Amino acid sequence: MKKILVKLKKSPFQKHIQKHKKHAPLVFFIGGFIFDTLTLGRIDRLYDTIVLCSHMSLLTLTLYLYNLADDGQWKNTFLERFEAYFPLAIQFFFGGLSSAFVIYFSRSVSLSKTISFFIILVTLLFANEFLKKRISNKYLQFSVYFFISFTFFTFIIPVLIKTMNTNVFIFSGLISLCLTLLLIIVIYNISPSTRAEVHIGKIIGIILTIYTVINLFYYFNLIPPVPFALETGIAAHDIKVENNTYTVTYQKDKRHIFWREHKLEFIYNPNESVYIFTSIFAPTDIKKAIFHRWKWYNHHTDEWEIVEDIGYHITGGRDHGYRGYTFKQNIKEGLWKVEVITEEELVIGVIDFEIITNATFEPIELVEKTF
């Protein structure tokens, strides 16, 4: 008896993907990044929450479908025709989620020690192109998935429960860890090809290592306290508040220095006050104590000395951030920085400046800006 082989006709899109399969994963990865860059805004906005939750849910589902495809689980089902697209979909969701985290973290990160975690996110966003086996490597799949899952839950849970503290971070991490291990165990038990390629003890060890490293980052304050973000930080000469409008008077930096409003060299007239104005984004209904930690650099000891912590409370929800300020009088010359921190001492941002005494009382060019 002769066997009759029926070759399914490929669609034009499938032919195009097959022709450019070498670059297709990168295109889909970048596509996810561009999609989020153009559409995401506030993390507590309903649209953003739906997009992030959809990305995470569809990534989990696609990862499950993809790992069972090699075992012929979807033969003679409607899913069979979509098997070629599973890795591309994974790339898209990896790109979409990691780009969303980069977007949100970039609002929070300052040129301080918290930038190290931000660099990891940016590296994750672009390193995919340089990995030889790419998404077909199951160790890579589950490791990246867990890192993204952990970050996702630390974003979304504080927004949903309207609270952000250490216990919430630990709770978020445990949810991610349990769900990731559950997904791995389910796939491992169902898929013979996964059992042949993956050593269960090794992959669980990798996941637990990533879990430990992220928690160490948090313990040493190396992770910005997202969803909080420092919108504006200015070292100012004067601040007036009238009718809920803040008028900030300060020395403006040069136009090409777009990442900072004020000049680093704060020309200080004796006996005047030095103000620090901050505008902090916080999701709707989240309430939090915020502190300005004033630090002065001691050249004799080569160390930063904590001068004072001055705190105030914020309530989230304002589009351009919750405004507040602190000030000090009779301030010493030298390098200063004010860390904007939470009560858990997580750094939201840092405002740097150098006090230079204006001994001759020469006129200083100042500008005013309202917030």
Q: Please report, to the nearest 10 degrees, the dihedral formed by the alpha carbons of residues 264, 270, 272, 275 taken in order.
A: 20
Residue 138 and residue 17 share a domain: yes
Report the candidate in 159, 309, 145, 126 with the shortest Cα–Cα distance to residue 225. Answer: 159
Given a contact cutoff of 8 angstroms between Cβ atoms, the answer to whether 324 and 234 are in contact is no
Identify residue 36 by its one-letter amino acid code: D
How many structural domains comprise the chain? 2
**Rounded Cα gap, residues 29 and 60, in angstroms:** 16
pLDDT at 5: 41
pLDDT at 68: 93
Instruction: Give a yes or no: residue 4 inside a domain.
Output: no
Given a contact cutoff of 8 angstroms between Cβ atoms, the answer to whether 128 and 94 are in contact is yes
Q: At what angle do helices 46-69 and 86-108 cross, to 10 degrees?
A: 140
Q: Is the link from the previous residue into 224 a cis peptide, with omega within 30 of 0?
A: no
Residue 254 and residue 199 share a domain: no
Residue 350 and residue 281 share a domain: yes
**Rounded Cα gap, residues 305 and 188, in angstroms:** 53
Instruction: Give a yes or no: residue 7 inside a domain.
Output: no
Q: Which of 219, 248, 276 is the last residue of a domain?
A: 219
Instruction: Give a yes or no: residue 2 inside a domain.
Output: no
Q: Which of 189, 219, 249 is the last residue of a domain?
A: 219
Instruction: Give a yes or no: residue 191 inside a domain.
Output: yes
Given a contact cutoff of 8 angstroms between Cβ atoms, the answer to whether 63 and 145 are in contact is yes
Residue 58 and residue 31 share a domain: yes
Cα→Cα distances 105→288, 293, 299, Å: 19, 21, 33
Instruction: Give a yes or no: residue 359 inside a domain.
Output: yes
Q: Which of 155, 185, 219 is the last residue of a domain?
A: 219
Domain ranges, residue 164: 12-219
Residue 144 and residue 64 share a domain: yes
pLDDT at 87: 86
Per-residue pLDDT of the chain (371 residues; tens, 9 = 90+): 444 444 444 555 455 545 545 555 556 656 656 766 667 767 777 888 898 999 999 999 999 999 999 888 998 898 988 888 898 888 888 878 887 887 777 665 554 555 666 677 667 656 555 544 566 788 888 998 999 999 999 989 988 888 888 899 999 999 999 999 999 999 999 999 999 999 999 999 999 999 999 999 888 877 877 778 788 899 999 999 998 899 999 998 776 565 567 788 999 988 899 999 998 877 766 778 899 999 999 999 999 999 999 998 776 656 666 888 999 998 999 999 999 998 888 888 889 999 999 877 788 889 999 98
pTM, entire model: 0.74
